[in-house]
Amino acid sequence: MIKRISSIIIFIFMLNLVSTADAKEIKIFISIDKTRVEVGNHFRLTIGVQGAFDTDIPQITPPENFILMYGPSVSTQTSIVNNVVTIFRGFTYSFSPTETGKFELGPASLEYKGKVYTSDIVRIEVVKRTPFEGGVTPDRERSKRIDIYKRIFIELTTDKKEAYIYEQIIESFKLFFQKGLPIDNLDYDAASTKSFLAEKLGEERRYEEVRDGILYNVIELRTALFPLVSGNIEIPPAKFKCDIIIRQQSYSNSIFDEFIGRGGRKYPIERSTDSIKLKIKSLPELDKPEDFAGTVGKFTMDVLAKPIKVKVGDPITLSINIRGEGNIQTIGEPVITPGDEKDFKIYPAETDMTITDRGEGIRGEKLFSKVIEPQHEDIDFIPVISFSYFDPELEKYKTITHDPIPIVVEHSDLEIPIRFSLEDAEKVKGQVKILTKDILPIMSDLYSFKNQGFAIYNRPLFLAFIFLTPILVVIVCIYVQRHRELLQTDVGYARKRRALSRAKKQLSNARQLIPLDKPSEFYSTLAKTVMEHIADKLNLASASITSDNISGILESRGVSHGVIKELKQCLESCDYGRFSTGQHSKDQMVRTLDTAEEFIMHLEKQL
């Protein structure tokens, strides 16, 4: 009985407190833990609501350049003094500004029981972050002082200081940071490579290395550089920015505090490498082969001919595969040793380039598919095939030759052409003669005969259809047969007819690279597709078409300036995408792909 009475008294007391709290006016406050903050650091903003415990979350719209790190974190405090209940609820946010300037935060607003309450505003100044280059003494380690230069540094090196033009140079960028040092907001600004053709070597490498007795984590980025000009070239410095996080004394052991970074302070770090000076030598003129086309590196050659037993005028396909280490793009076409010009009819080669390895350097292969036709039956072999390149390690030219390939050429039966002429038709035109007279049967019911109208075989259109259909069928068969023969024997015709389907297939392959986030491979594939499509339509070797001469070539073939302008925009976007180190959005890649598709369709209508 006593317990029941006590419960009733407590309930009445709490009901009184709640009614007292509800009767008070609601107040809303806004505050920040600092009025000056550096770009990239964070500050805490708290919205306080006094007078009620069942309110919604207050609303506040921060400036666009303020990133919400976390929040709101809700806390509630209740105090009772002389039977007066005071309720305070705090909503805490963490923001990180991205631009400098002076900003206003607030007012915060709250709607409660049909009435809207608002707070004042607070002002904060965002300043540019100051790179930290000295030492720092954490609160936990008063006796220790951290040397930032020993904690984190960068290096830019090349595997050689002197090289020949077009020779492969491996550039290495390394970031060293002491093991266990937390870093954030990494920003790498690569050195300019405008005098080089640059190819990325694989993904970044991560490993550990000891320097001066200190264990470092290392992040390495490697690039293959191929110098395009000779002389003294300087690679400018590479730059790097990041934040290091130094733990500070914290009076809270909350895991949440550690997660949001309240247990440490960010120090912005900026580093710059030394520039690299390279001496690029021209290729020697002494002993330069006549068929040398500028290929530098180490290469091998394989040759396959199919078929080796043919008739006069039948095509033979030569598959010449050059593989090795160096700039695969600049591999020139192998040369067939000239014999009697009347022996073979030789067509331009089609090329297909593949990079097979990006580990320790660029390795790959380039396949040349070349069609030749023997012109008489006295030919016993395909002449010697040679390929020349410059070996930078041996510092001399080397020529690879493939021995003559035996073939059998048989006599070809001459085809008698079919000729249609009015003269021939007149010669075979027959005369209509009446050979006999039929005996008509006796008709007893002549009145049963009725006019049935015109018979279908007396109609002109029907007669025209009957006589023209066989001719049309013959013409179609001749065209189809001729088309098949041209596809097998005329490389130029085959390339032009198959160009569009081949380009659509390659564009489809490029589109599949967009969601894989491989911009360099995407733009390389797209540029290759466009250039090879032009080469196929004009029956030219792909290596003979460059971004410098393509405009003149298309103008000479009657292509409009608008289509040429589309081509230039597409190639410029591809070059920027391949050689730029910045970020590439998927929308930008899709737009470039659409431009390439439009150009190809417009070119189809004009060539």
Query: Using CA atoms in the order 133, 139, 143, 147, what is the torsion angle rounded to 10 degrees?
Result: -20
Largest CA distance in the chain: 144
Query: Which amino acid does the sequence have at 120?
Result: D
Residue 230 in 3-state DSSP?
Answer: coil
Question: Do the domains at 2-127 and 489-606 have one common CATH topology?
Answer: no
**Which neighbouring-strand residues pair with 303?**
320
CA 386, CA 187: separation in Å to the nearest integer? 49
Secondary-structure class of domain 489-606 per CATH: mainly alpha
CA 493, CA 504: separation in Å to the nearest integer? 18
pLDDT at 554: 86
CA 294, CA 236: separation in Å to the nearest integer? 27
CA 249, CA 263: separation in Å to the nearest integer? 7
Nearest to 217 by CA among 177, 189, 251: 177
Q: Are 526 and 588 in contact (CB under 8 A)?
A: no
CA 527, CA 62: separation in Å to the nearest integer? 44
- H helices then E strands: how many in the chain? 10, 34
pLDDT at 456: 56
Q: Are 387 and 336 in contact (CB under 8 A)?
A: no
Q: How many CB atoms neighbour CB 134 within 10 A?
A: 10
pTM of the predicted model as reported, rounded to 2 decimal places: 0.48
**Domain ranges in the chain?**
2-127, 135-281, 297-410, 489-606
Nearest to 369 by CA among 293, 299, 430, 316: 316
CA 354, CA 329: separation in Å to the nearest integer? 9
CA 524, CA 577: separation in Å to the nearest integer? 8
CA 118, CA 29: separation in Å to the nearest integer? 8
Residues lower than pLDDT 50 in the chain: 1-2, 8-23, 136-145, 249-262, 416-440, 444, 446-449
Q: Which residues contact 429 (CB under 8 A, 6 or more apart)?
A: none
CA 2, CA 176: separation in Å to the nearest integer? 75
Report residue 223 as tokens: 């690039």
CA 605, CA 192: separation in Å to the nearest integer? 40
Q: In sequence order, what DSSP letters do the residues of 363-395 get, joined into one string? A: EEEEEEEEEEEE-STT--EEPPEEEEEEETTTT
Pairing of strands 239-247, 146-147: unpaired
Tell me the C-alpha to C-alpha distance, in Å, between residue 466 and each of 380, 422, 472, 475.
52, 20, 11, 15
Q: Are 268 and 130 in contact (CB under 8 A)?
A: yes
pLDDT at 451: 52
Total count of residues recorded for the chain: 607
- Three-state SS string across 501-536, please? HHHHHHHHHHHHHCCCCCHHHHHHHHHHHHHHHHHH
Report residue 228 as tokens: 């395009």
Q: Are 13 and 74 in contact (CB under 8 A)?
A: no
pLDDT at 535: 84
| 466 CA to centre of own chain | 58
Tell me the C-alpha to C-alpha distance, in Å, between residue 304 and each of 82, 332, 380.
103, 18, 16
CA 382, CA 309: separation in Å to the nearest integer? 12
Q: Which residues contact 245 (CB under 8 A, 6 or more apart)?
A: 182, 183, 184, 261, 264, 265, 266, 267
CA 433, CA 231: separation in Å to the nearest integer? 95
pLDDT digits (tens, 9 = 90+) for 184-243: 888 888 888 888 988 888 888 999 998 888 899 999 999 999 998 999 999 999 999 888
**Which neighbouring-strand residues pair with 430?**
none
Residue 211 in 3-state DSSP?
Answer: strand
Q: What is the CATH number of domain 297-410?
A: 2.60.40.1510
Q: Are 115 and 95 in contact (CB under 8 A)?
A: no
- Considering the domain delimited by 135-281, tell me its CATH architecture: Sandwich (2.60)
pLDDT digits (tens, 9 = 90+) for 364-405: 999 999 999 998 888 899 999 999 999 999 999 999 999 999
- Superfamily the domain 2-127 falls into: Immunoglobulins (2.60.40.10)
- Give burial (CB, 10 Å; 0-12/13-18/19+) of 240: buried
Positive or negative, the Cα torsion across 338, 339, 342, 347? Answer: negative
CA 596, CA 566: separation in Å to the nearest integer? 8
**Which neighbouring-strand residues pair with 367?**
321, 352
CA 45, CA 590: separation in Å to the nearest integer? 41
